[in-house]
Structure 1
Amino acid sequence: MIKRKLITLLLATPISLCFIFAIIFGEWKQPRELMVMTGVFSLWTSPIILVYGVPVTFLSDFLCKRFTGKLRTWFAFLVHIFFGILFGLLFPMGATLFSLLVIDINFVTLFATITAIFFWLIDEVIRRVVRSK
């Protein structure tokens, strides 16, 4: 299980950063700069994701072990989303982009939530591939 989480970390970090830079910042027009930015920021954010994100996925696995099938998958998704938003609330940075209900969404909240979605998605794919073997 630890091996799966580390592989997820190594895949989800650059993929989520590449998505953020390409879609939100429009860097898809300059692919060379996109790859350099992704590489540099992956080195910077990987320790943060290792310390915060990996324990969240272990918690998600623990909380979801009593569920099966799609219910477990969606509950794990909600756990990841919750902790992505919580990270942005605990470590706010930048101006408020918009308010959703009573939560102010800033850059950190948005980026942490996007990263949590990719982390959940890649972890689920790896889980199913390993289980099918």
Structure 2
Amino acid sequence: MLKRKMLAFLLTYLSIVLILSLLLVTDNNMYSEFFLYFVLIGAYSLPFILLYGVPSSIFADYLTKKLVGLIRSGVSLLIHLAMGMVIVVIAGIIFENKSLLMNFKSFLSEYLIFLFPTLLAAFLFWLSDEMLRSTFIRNKLLFITKSLDKYWDLKR
């Protein structure tokens, strides 16, 4: 399971950094700054996805281990998304606790910008994990790795 989670982390990390970098570059028409955005977003998102996303996904697996099929998948998605929202609230409590308690509307307007990337990352983590859990995808990955191993042996 840990191997699958780490591969899901890698897929999520690369896709969220690429998507957010492309969104920022196309929004600002600053295509020459793509690499800078890619590095900055990558540096900021790496610890959050690794240290919060992976344990959240393991927690979702633990909570849904007795469920099967689409029910398990749907509940797992809801848990992933809820955990994505929780990290935004936790960050708000840590950094803006007075604003949160005094004026929730201003807190929401300030932290709403963080909600989209966290929910997108949570969704992508869930999606990549579900794809890796799928036997069809696992068999395709196994076929590709075996083919690459055979190709590598022929090249030696």
The TM-score normalised by the length of structure 1 is 0.78
Shift of 1:118: 0.8
Q: Which amino acid aligns with 2:52?
A: Y
Question: Which runs of no fewer than 5 residues in structure 2 stay unpaired?
Answer: 97-104, 143-156
Distance 1:3 1:31, change over 3 A: farther
Q: Give 4+ residue runs of structure 1 displaced > 4 Å after superposition.
A: 29-32
Whichever of the two has the greater Rg, that structure is 2
Q: Deviations over 1:42-98 (max 9, x none)?
A: 13321222111110000010111111111111111000010101111111379xxxx
Q: Give 1 or 2: higher helix fraction.
A: 2
What's the Cα RMSD here? 2.7
Between the aligned partners of 2:127 and 2:115, the Cα distance in structure 1 is: 18
Most deviating of 33-42 and 113-122: 33-42
Give yes or no for the alignment of 1:6 onto 2:6.
yes
In 1, Cα distance between equivalents of 2:54 and 2:67: 20
Please tell me whether residue 117 in structure 1 is matched to residue 116 in structure 2. no
Residue 39 (structure 1) shift: 3.3
Q: Deviations 1:91-127 (Å, cap 9, x if unpaired)?
A: 1379xxxx7xxx9351222211111011111111111
| Structure 1 residues 72 and 31: alpha-carbon distance in aligned structure 2, compared to 1, 3 A threshold | farther
Identity of aligned residues (%): 23
1:130 to 138, 142, 146: 138
Superposed, 1:90-109 pairs within 5 Å as 90-92=90-92, 104=108, 106-109=112-115
The code of the aligned residue for 1:112 comes to T
Unpaired stretches in structure 1, ≥5 consecutive residues? none
Equivalents in 2 of 1:11, 1:36: separation in Å? 20
Q: Distance in 2 between matches of 1:71 and 1:59?
A: 16
Q: Supply the AA of the counterpart residue of 2:70.
A: K
Q: Give the structure-2-normalised TM-score.
A: 0.68
**Does the 8 Å CA contact 2:20/2:41 hold for their aligned counterparts?**
no
